[in-house]
A and B are shown apart, each in its own frame.
Chain A
Amino acid sequence: MSSVLEAREIGKSFGPVEVLRGIPLALQAGEVHAVIGENGAGKSTLMRILSGHLQPSAGSLAMDGQPLVFTGPVDAEKRGIVLVHQEILLAPDLTIAQNLFLGREMRRGLFVDDAAMNRIAAAKMAELGARLDPRMPVRELSIAQRQLVQIARALLAPHRVVIFDEPTATLSGVEAEALFLAIHQLKAKGVAVLYISHRLPEVKAIADRVTVLRDGRHVTTRDMAELDPAGMARLMVGRDMANLYPPRTPAPVAEPVLEARDIAVPGYVETASFALQKGEILGFAGLIGAGRTELFEAIVGLRPHRGEVRLEGRPVAFRDAARSMAAGIVYLSEDRKGKGLLLQQDLRVNLTLAALSRFARSGLVAESQEWAELDKAIAGFDIRARRKEMLAGQLSGGNQQKLLLAKMMLLEPRIVIIDEPTRGIDIGTKEQIYRFIAELAAQGRSIVVISSEMPELIGLCHRVIVMRAGRIAGEVTGDDIAEDPIMFLATGVHEEEVAEMAAGAP
């Protein structure tokens, strides 16, 4: 039996960076095939190649046994391959029906046939378990509902292969079940479903086969029956995790440098109190939207808030980032491209932006010193730049993060808050960044690591505070720092229950 869609030894490089090598993948009609792997394993790149968004640099694609090249996503869609994007790509001011039919409106004569489109839209949404008025503007929907609209939109096109890229990331249990039901229906119709996720219990529940990727390589493809979630996790990680993280230093003695009491950030954080010790690496865990980022943006003066902040015992209230920086606190945003670096400016301008006053000599910026500092940063932080004049936007994600670190370290901070320190960064660079964080703590600086990557919090932190829905749900210390208690605090639900919920789907 020939596969509907087949990847033959697909490889992909971006410049000198190889992100995929020799990946085989054969999708059969009527199967749900899961692709799992850690962040940076190459899942998204593989998806984008299979859906025509990227051209492979090696290997080839085939449909029904015939080799072919997609000229682009439109071509792939014409051949029946649809990709359901992870991000929401909808026009917020248009209605559900208008979004569903955007660019392929039904017509009656010269005019669009709203009645028919509304009818079909309502039916399609109902199939996904969402009973919504199709005339509602998308703006008024929750993120999860928008995700369902997006799925319905993708399924409106004739399809033989449907690719879901982490579709449940924003869905609640009930909504996810409706999605699983829809996937089962697709499967029954003989459609091939490719399912990307790192929620292993749900993969176990709905997939027939699973392909594991690690660091851009194909690890294995197995029947689901052979594996359980723990087995999949082992295959995904596959390396000695101990080596990734620097040796843990003893927990510091209690000597609070930063204390926050009853911090409230309207719309994000109801109330939060905590203390950060000298030399401590304090983790902040929680689901997306738990209010972690907003809490710390408030503390450093980037958001209006209520509550009391004490720095080494003295009450402080920062009105903007300049003042918190002057007091020795820096915040490195999770949004490197949007809030961390000026992508259109060169490395030097980025490096010195926050500490520019230190480079001023009688009112003028001392450029030669800036260049010297850039040389030091490139060497000290191992920033891989082809030219010193290049723009920050031309660096890879890992090197951007190193540049951002170098930029903030010029301020010689006592407290460093790093939001998602390794998001979108390859394994090698992750290790460097972990080592760097540990060094900072060893120098007596205090570190806050906000992260959605559980292993990173477990491997790095002395203590982990967990937030849920704008409040601090609890904290775990020392040997208690493990995935289960953190997940329990973050969701309020035990892991086994989560697995049961997923398994309970038909």
Chain B
Amino acid sequence: MTENAATTSPVPERRRFAFDLKAASPFIALAALILLGAVVNPDFLTVSNLTNVVTRSAFIAIIAVGATFVIASGGLDLSVGSMAAFTAGLMILTLNKLGGAETSTLLMAMGVALMVAAACGLFNGLVVTVGKIEPFIVTLGTMGIFRSLVIFLAAGGTITLRDSGMREMYRPLYFGSVMGIPIPVIAILLVAGLGALLLYKTPFGRHVVAVGSNEDVARYSGVPVSRVRLLTYVIQGICVGIAVLIYVPRLGSATPTTGLLWELQAITAVVIGGTALRGGVGRIWGTVAGAVILELVANIMVFSNFVSEYLVGAVQGSIIIIAMLVQRSLQRAR
């Protein structure tokens, strides 16, 4: 009884302030980075450059929206990069097999990509829930499996989209725009918008947060815990599938290095966005901001001469560590 009473004493105003700060911090960081970029190089703050940055962040942003669900429910998915490469490889192989440059062919291949990715997610989810194995181990395993399947399919080389007519037809999905807005940016907004609706407004989203907050409480409250967990991995798979749909037209190929370190970037974006790695808090728009931040940092590195752009991975790796430190100190401040 005594410890309960102790928790009733914090000063409400301060708590609220810290809470808001936590939700706002990714956007503050985003603004600060844009300011920094503008100082470093006058060419940075142009509409075309910034649009470019957001466009390039699309793959990670979309995958990270899925990762927000997995992480908010207390899970983890390390296999997203390999899964993207595997899905892209299969999609291109499907296109090559069907041949020609028909719209129906493309739609069919897209359907295949989405189903393959969703099935990969389902597999992860089933092993986690039915097999009751730590998500870290499961997805570490499937990360290796999916990656080596791509290498196998490509026989160590590159899987290239052969039909040039199909390439031309498919190209605009990455390079095109609608009313001046690049299609990948529209894709981010659509996926994040749907994700936010699902996470914040539906009973399923509430269940995701409940399971991540405390699995026992969720179970004792009649929440179908296993089903909720399983679905988060399927959602993650579908998000990977959508990212692949706009990735393939960009280069028209899949290689053994496709999607390398995407899991690092996706998880970093989620963490920067303010989602708690232990589960129970999910912030979709923060995640999107996080993905844009990662791409902005890379962009600023290219514009400035401070750090070699070959060190982008090192900088992104540092960012996830710094983001965790900031989260921790914000928690202490409460």
Segment 296-323 of A: residues with Cβ below 8 Å from B: 302, 320-322
In contact, A44 and B213 (Cβ under 8 angstroms): no
In contact, A356 and B7 (Cβ under 8 angstroms): no
The 10 closest A-B pairs by CB, nearest first: A14-B5, A322-B222, A15-B9, A397-B4, A424-B1, A321-B222, A354-B221, A342-B213, A339-B216, A364-B201
Segment 324-350 of A: residues with Cβ below 8 Å from B: 324-325, 331, 333, 335, 338-345, 349
Q: Contacting chain A: which of B157-165, B203-211, B265-273?
A: B203-211
In contact, A424 and B4 (Cβ under 8 angstroms): yes
In contact, A14 and B222 (Cβ under 8 angstroms): no
Q: Does A386 interact with chain B (Cβ within 8 Å)?
A: yes
Q: Does A229 interact with chain B (Cβ within 8 Å)?
A: no
User: Smallest CB–CB gap between B13 and chain A, Å?
Assistant: 10
Question: Given the known A-B contacts A356-B203, A360-B203, are A397 and B220 also in contact in the complex, defined by CB atoms under 8 Å?
Answer: no
In contact, A15 and B213 (Cβ under 8 angstroms): no
User: Smallest CB–CB gap between B15 and chain A, Å?
Assistant: 9
In contact, A345 and B1 (Cβ under 8 angstroms): no
In contact, B203 and A397 (Cβ under 8 angstroms): no
Question: Whole-angstrom distance between the alpha carbons of A188 and B173 in the complex?
Answer: 87
Q: Contacting chain B: which of A133-141, A231-239, A387-395?
A: A387-395
Q: Which of B4, B7, B10, B221 has the most CB of A within 10 A?
A: B221
Residue of B nearest to A425 (CB): B1
Q: Does B2 interact with chain A (Cβ within 8 Å)?
A: yes
B residues neighboring A (CB under 8 Å): 1-2, 4-10, 12, 197, 201-203, 206-207, 209-210, 213-214, 216-224, 280-281
Which residues of the other chain, A, contact B12 by a CB distance below 8 angstroms? 386-387, 390
How many chain A residues sit at the interface, stated as a range, is 35 or more
Which residues of the other chain, B, contact A338 by a CB distance below 8 angstroms? 214, 216-217
In contact, B210 and A349 (Cβ under 8 angstroms): yes
Residue of A nearest to B222 (CB): A322
Q: Does A28 interact with chain B (Cβ within 8 Å)?
A: no
Apart from the given pairs A302-B220, A320-B222, A345-B209, 8 other A-B contacts in the complex at a CB distance below 8 Å: A45-B2, A322-B222, A322-B224, A338-B216, A353-B210, A360-B203, A386-B8, A395-B8
Out of B6, B202, B217, B224, name the residue touching A342 (CB < 8 Å).
Answer: B217
Q: Does A69 interact with chain B (Cβ within 8 Å)?
A: no
Which residues of the other chain, A, contact B2 by a CB distance below 8 angstroms? 14, 19, 44-45, 48, 54
Question: Whole-angstrom distance between the alpha carbons of A172 and B5 in the complex?
Answer: 33
User: Smallest CB–CB gap between A175 and chain B, Å?
Assistant: 28
User: Smallest CB–CB gap between B184 and chain A, Å?
Assistant: 28
Question: Whole-angstrom distance between the alpha carbons of A363 and B203 in the complex?
Answer: 7
Which residues of the other chain, B, contact A321 by a CB distance below 8 angstroms? 219-222
In contact, B5 and A353 (Cβ under 8 angstroms): no
Which residues of the other chain, B, contact A396 by a CB distance below 8 angstroms? 1, 4-5, 8
